[in-house]
């Protein structure tokens, strides 16, 4: 991303205030990094490309930015960030956006707010609700931990090289009270095993898609129609189904 106005727009949408701790993933040559620092953020920039690191450090370290070399999918996030709150503001690689956001929500509670620039279709999936064509397993994951909304589009012309896809900004805010379905009701491992099974056969009715995963009597107990399909269920309904013992 090479457009300074877009960087400033992203910072405004992220609501970065002076002194707030902000982590950026994939800082590149520092366009967004500098905008975050100019807003007064206490910025930690993560970059994996060893060829870019010397240039990045030269550009942003004079502005008080801490540069960390590392792979965001393999970082010791708790060691790097410690306790929260932190904001994550990033232009995420298209192929890593979905698993990275899911991993951060699952395992890095110090990050309480995210504003990420991703492929438009990915943004729509992250923010989708029940009944939407974009609603899938990752949508349930996001809604389990947080609230989310698409807050803007970004044209391809602000990138070099220019991508062949549309991009969008999605804001994700972690629920301060913890996940929507408490672990005392059903643990996340069981819950998302059921969710993945349901969406693996999303055109099937749930009684077929979840055969062998959820007992037949669970539907009545959970108040879920066995003829429903995966995209119709909200997080609480998935939780009630998953809470029933496996057959």
Give the integer Cα–Cα distance in Å for 44 and 68.
Answer: 7
Task: Please check whether residue 39 lies inside any domain of the structure.
Answer: yes
Task: Please check whether residue 211 lies inside any domain of the structure.
Answer: yes
Mean pLDDT confidence for 160-182? 91
Give the integer Cα–Cα distance in Å for 37 and 137.
Answer: 35
Examine the domain organization and report whether 156 and 231 are in the same domain. Answer: no
Whether the ω angle into residue 242 lies within 30 degrees of 0, i.e. cis, is no
Mean pLDDT confidence for 155-167? 82
Give CA angle at 122 (97, 76), nearest 5°: 15
Q: Which domain holds residue 197?
A: 188-243
Examine the domain organization and report whether 156 and 224 are in the same domain. Answer: no
Examine the domain organization and report whether 211 and 100 are in the same domain. Answer: no
Examine the domain organization and report whether 70 and 13 are in the same domain. Answer: yes
Joined together, the tokens standing for residue 241 give: 């189904």
User: DSSP letters of 163-174?
Assistant: PSS-EEEEEEEE
Task: Please check whether residue 167 lies inside any domain of the structure.
Answer: yes
Above 90 in pLDDT, residue 55?
yes
Examine the domain organization and report whether 143 and 205 are in the same domain. Answer: no
Task: Please check whether residue 183 lies inside any domain of the structure.
Answer: no
Give the integer Cα–Cα distance in Å for 150 and 197.
Answer: 27
143's enclosing H/E stretch is helix 137-145
Task: Please check whether residue 181 lies inside any domain of the structure.
Answer: no
Task: Please check whether residue 54 lies inside any domain of the structure.
Answer: yes
Do the beta carbons of residue 215 and residue 123 sit within 8 Å?
A: no
Look at the chain and report how many structural domains it folds into.
Answer: 2
User: DSSP letters of 115-137?
Assistant: EEEEEHHHHHHHH--TT-TT--H
Examine the domain organization and report whether 118 and 168 are in the same domain. Answer: yes
Task: Please check whether residue 199 lies inside any domain of the structure.
Answer: yes
Examine the domain organization and report whether 197 and 107 are in the same domain. Answer: no
Task: Please check whether residue 179 lies inside any domain of the structure.
Answer: no
Examine the domain organization and report whether 95 and 141 are in the same domain. Answer: yes
Examine the domain organization and report whether 92 and 192 are in the same domain. Answer: no
Query: pLDDT tens-digit profile of 199-213?
Result: 998 889 999 999 999
The pLDDT-based confidence of 98 (bands split at 50, 70, 90) is very high
Characterise 62 by phi-psi region: left (phi > 0), alpha (psi -120 to 50), beta (else).
alpha
Q: What is the CATH number of the domain that holds 230?
A: 1.10.8.100
Examine the domain organization and report whether 165 and 200 are in the same domain. Answer: no
Examine the domain organization and report whether 74 and 117 are in the same domain. Answer: yes
Examine the domain organization and report whether 129 and 32 are in the same domain. Answer: yes
**pTM score:** 0.94
């Amino acid at each position: 991303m090479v457009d300074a106005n877009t960087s400033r727009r992203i910072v405004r949408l992220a609501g970065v205030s002076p002194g707030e701790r902000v982590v950026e993933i994939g800082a590149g040559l520092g366009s967004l990094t500098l905008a975050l620092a100019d807003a007064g953020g206490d910025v930690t920039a993560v970059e994996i490309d060893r060829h870019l690191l010397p240039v990045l450090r030269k550009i942003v370290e004079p502005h008080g930015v801490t540069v960390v070399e590392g792979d965001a999918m393999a970082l010791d996030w708790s060691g790097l960030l410690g306790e929260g709150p932190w904001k994550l503001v990033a232009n995420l690689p298209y192929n890593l956006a979905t698993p990275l956001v899911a991993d951060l929500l699952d395992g890095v509670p110090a990050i309480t707010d995210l504003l990420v620039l991703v492929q438009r279709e990915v943004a729509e999936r992250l923010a989708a609700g029940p009944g939407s064509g974009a609603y899938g397993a990752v949508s349930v994951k996001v809604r389990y931990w947080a609230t989310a909304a698409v807050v803007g589009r970004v044209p391809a012309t602000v990138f070099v090289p220019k991508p062949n896809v549309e991009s969008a900004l999605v804001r994700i805010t972690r629920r301060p009270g913890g996940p929507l379905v408490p672990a005392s009701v059903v643990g996340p491992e069981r819950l998302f095993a059921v969710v993945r099974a349901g969406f693996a056969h999303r055109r099937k009715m749930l009684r077929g898609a979840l055969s062998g995963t959820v007992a037949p009597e669970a539907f009545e107990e959970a108040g879920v129609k066995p003829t429903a399909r995966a995209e119709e269920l909200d997080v609480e309904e998935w939780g009630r189904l998953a809470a029933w013992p496996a057959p």
